[in-house]
Structure 1
């Protein structure tokens, strides 16, 4: 494959790079920012893509953020690549505050509480839901009895509050990024056009000079 790494990274190394890239999250952020600004599209469409990607990180659809960002970007007629890149706003450094704010907001809106002492912790309820899906899938082909308790707890105490509570802070954060992105991208594109025009003018001037010298020599 063209894009496959020649040096396959061990699983532990790949996990470590995801949690903390070799160049650090600051370098990773600047790299993504640089790539987004160089996208060949209007500042508004790119910014709408950023909106879609940032908003997606406030949804509980972990492992599917690329798909969700893609769908939202299509609906908004936004730059899809910008949306996919902007999902990196959700990373191990931001998922904790995003999850905390989304859950707190969701339980407040729904009038419910996160009953950690009655059942399991936040991560534990994710694991319980995963175990239920796995065990119930196996139960379809064996004599085991399906048990949906863990998945039910996860839905009512994690997924639904997260889904409802992430909408408002997600929209606010995404909108802030939108309005910050438009002027920055527009200024960058104007500066880049000037640089490219200057290079072409220099090439044209050099070609004209060489042509004049050739004509005089003849």
Structure 2
């Protein structure tokens, strides 16, 4: 799940190759990166691709660039993003009873298990219990969602502004190479 079957180097090479060939204006590609980086700070785990695509579409950004931008949120950076979002959310909401990341992670797995149990009750006829999910929502998920806006926006803007000159330079370089290939092909072709 964490380690690519073909290895990290090959996966990174593939992503780099695909990013270099994004067909759009530099501004739209940079807005797409913003959307992907921004959504990586939210607790919408499992929905980052959909959220990034939706934000990119709303901002008129490049949707494939947004999907590539979500790779910023990976197993190495997610604990940092979660901590930043949670602490910012606690600060914004004025929460006194704060939890650390090591206390929060078991709540995520328990919330998933509770949702599965409650859905099973619909088929078996049992009585679902939503109390643990309410506590999870108010103590963890909502502060993390509210807190993700500030660090997500800052990181997204940093990626957007940082990538824009690189994208412009890369597209100019590609255009020069393309023009040189076309000129060379014309020079080699027989004249009528």
Alignment correspondent of 1:22: 7
Q: State the alpha-carbon separation in 1 of the partners of residues 6 and 78 from structure 2.
A: 16
Q: State the alpha-carbon separation in 2 of the partners of residues 21 and 94 from structure 1.
A: 21
Per-residue deviation at 1:178? 0.5
Alignment correspondent of 1:11: none
For residue 104 of structure 1, the aligned residue among 84, 87, 91 is 87
The answer as to 2:24 corresponding to 1:41 is yes
- 2:39–2:51 Cα contact (<8 Å) kept: yes
The answer as to 2:157 corresponding to 1:171 is no
Shift >4 Å, 4+ stretches: 27-31
- The 5 Å alignment of 1:50-199 reads 50-112=33-95, 113-115=97-99, 121-199=103-181
TM-score by length of 2: 0.90
Per-residue deviation at 1:35? 2.2
- Relative to structure 1, the CA distance from residue 187 to residue 150 in structure 2 (aligned partners, 3 Å threshold; closer, same or farther) is same
Q: How many residues align?
A: 190
- Relative to structure 1, the CA distance from residue 29 to residue 72 in structure 2 (aligned partners, 3 Å threshold; closer, same or farther) is same
Q: State the alpha-carbon separation in 2 of the partners of residues 22 and 180 from structure 1.
A: 28
**Structure 2 unaligned spans of 5+:** none
- 1:125–1:154 Cα contact (<8 Å) kept: yes
- Superposition RMSD in Å: 2.0
Instruction: Determine helix, strand or coil for the equivalent of 2:42.
Output: coil
TM-score by length of 1: 0.80
- 2:2–2:75 Cα contact (<8 Å) kept: no
Higher Cα Rg, which structure: 1
